[in-house]
A = this chain, B = another copy of it.
Amino acid sequence: MSGHVLALSGGVGGAKLAAGLADVLEPGRLTVAVNTGDDFEHLGLTICPDIDSVLYTMAGLNDRQRGWGMTNESWHMMEQLRALGEEDWFNLGDRDLATHIARTWRLRAGGTLSEVTAHLARSLGIAQQIVPMSDDPVRTQVLTDNGWTDFQRWFVGEQCGPTVSDIRFSGTPGAAMSSGFSQALAREDLAAIVLCPSNPFLSVDPVLAVDGVRDTLMQRTVPCIAVSPLIGGRALKGPLSKLLSERDLQRGNLDIAAHYGALVDHIVIDRGDGDDAPALREAGHAVTLAETLMRSAADQERLARDVLAAVGVEF
């Protein structure tokens, strides 16, 4: 089966699989709908961390060592900002700043986030459709002993320190799907929906919380395949492992599959976690084992092929 693929992505891991899918599929066959729950306003700039990760990774400009931001980055603005005594808890690279300045400027001039994202993607030479999950503001917030805290403040400012007892997506319900997202979901030639290996609770759930997304996915007539972000039962980076243990979710892939439930037909887990497969299958999921660690563009492409093959999408 050929047809269109819709990938739902958060930041780093999701962005890598999205880039792999982009390498495998012709440009017209891929839409990446990106989490905007991590977006925030900082020093007057509108920063969209997951969209930027997807943009930079699909453009081949991501820094693989650091794991976020742009390659060949420098930090001179940040040094001077610190010298001026301004807030410095969120690192802004000099090259990365161009994205934030261009985006903020274009949004303020009246562009929608969809329009601005499409413009940035084209400017970076990306031929595929990258769309925000919504043009309405959605803000992921975590509940800690300090009360409800914006995601970036907790994630970067507090380095995931305070224990999270709840998560909410401020702005939902009420946030509408971006037109690019809803159009991709409604395509007659839609062949598969891929939940990229992003944090299910913090990166995929906000996408699912957008008005109509969960219902539309439940009524889908095409396979929905999730790629687990866990390797050896643990998250590679970010707050997922901590969240899983704090929320008493110690069963790794089984908890992830249970969290997605009937939204997902098929789950891709790391080859090293094959022991999870029988229980996942028993719970009703088709299971594919693959190398899910993506250290290179070749890794990304290989995993993309495995994912597409698992749901019978030609490439």
Residues of A within 8 A of B (CB): 43-45, 70, 73-74, 76-81, 83-86, 94-99, 101-102, 104-105, 108, 120, 123-124
The distance from the CB of A222 to the nearest CB of chain B, in whole angstroms, is 35
The distance from the CB of A79 to the nearest CB of chain B, in whole angstroms, is 7
Contacting pair B98 A74 (CB below 8 A): no
By a CB distance below 8 angstroms, the chain B residues around A80 are 70, 94-99
Contacting pair A108 B77 (CB below 8 A): no
The distance from the CB of A264 to the nearest CB of chain B, in whole angstroms, is 36
Q: Could you say which of B70, B86, B105 contacts A102, with CB atoms under 8 Å apart?
A: B86
By a CB distance below 8 angstroms, the chain B residues around A76 are 73-74, 76, 94-95
The distance from the CB of A115 to the nearest CB of chain B, in whole angstroms, is 14
> Residue among A43, A70, A96 with the most chain B CB within 10 A?
A43
Measured between alpha carbons, how far is A295 from B184 in the docked complex, in Å? 63
8 closest Cβ pairs, A-B complex: A80-B98, A76-B94, A81-B98, A80-B95, A44-B105, A94-B94, A84-B123, A43-B105
By a CB distance below 8 angstroms, the chain B residues around A124 are 83-84
12 extra A-B contacts, CB within 8 A, seeds A76-B76, A83-B124 = A43-B105, A44-B104, A74-B76, A74-B94, A76-B95, A77-B97, A77-B101, A79-B98, A80-B95, A83-B98, A84-B99, A84-B124
Measured between alpha carbons, how far is A105 from B108 in the docked complex, in Å? 14
Measured between alpha carbons, how far is A80 from B120 in the docked complex, in Å? 12
Contacting pair B123 A101 (CB below 8 A): no
